[in-house]
A and B are shown apart, each in its own frame.
Chain A
């Protein structure tokens, strides 16, 4: 699969590495050239410095060929704008993004963008963790989350 990721923070970079390890063609774009430090040396994908909400930048990095677009910057507005451009202007089949604000997350989900709100997810997980009767039980809860996410460690 051809994947374009916007935002090379910890989340964007970790996603890029996972997808790269599964032999996808990964292109990652970030406005800040120093952001790519989060990528390990063996990363086989391509990196681009630029603004992922700019149609010219997206075109240049091959959005036309992308099967998947993911935006994972810190800005909700930037993320949903880029994902909508990918989906509705360039016809990318899967457009996904991170949206911190749960209300905006729900709205854009209803508009055909795959969205996830880390705020909502983390709040629920924190709650389940603190509700565990003992520290050991809390650790088990966390281990269970890791298992659900398919983490190997």
Chain B
């Protein structure tokens, strides 16, 4: 049984179909990159996987004991976060939200987990700093730490390297790779960075209003879709 399984899923906004007929599955240990042009429906699909948006048809299922609220989600940053007065620790702590259950405040275990994840991502010394004063790369690491607090199984990343310095972006990929390789986490990533995606991923899902390709990266590179899309981009 796969972790996430999408069966002929379509999404629409106010009656207009954005993306249709998407079928794929994500298995434990996969590294899936979802690529496609702007408006291809990538972020919509991510929202659908998280049940933030209802599909207009088709089914999205979780398997292998994965619960809907156990997905570590790294969303794109919102405008209001730019001037948000919160320190790093508060933000990372909010990743433990799904462990609150009936508690009103975070337990000691949560606090330990927060500390552990901050150290893992090298932001422990920033813990008292204000989120809005950090650089883009640091903010992204804070949000990644928060996602890790929410899940130790699967990370869902929406454009994790967009807007980052190339060098910082490479570092971000290294971190994600570390979670994939060492912690055996499953990764699903939406990205604009095609070379990055082809470098890192084990599987590729190519969208353009509909599903153009899903399968192993090696097969994708041989496929017609990739030749048309990449236009002979040297890998």
Partners in one complex: no
Q: Which residues of B contact A (CB under 8 A)?
A: none
Q: Which residues of A contact B (CB under 8 A)?
A: none
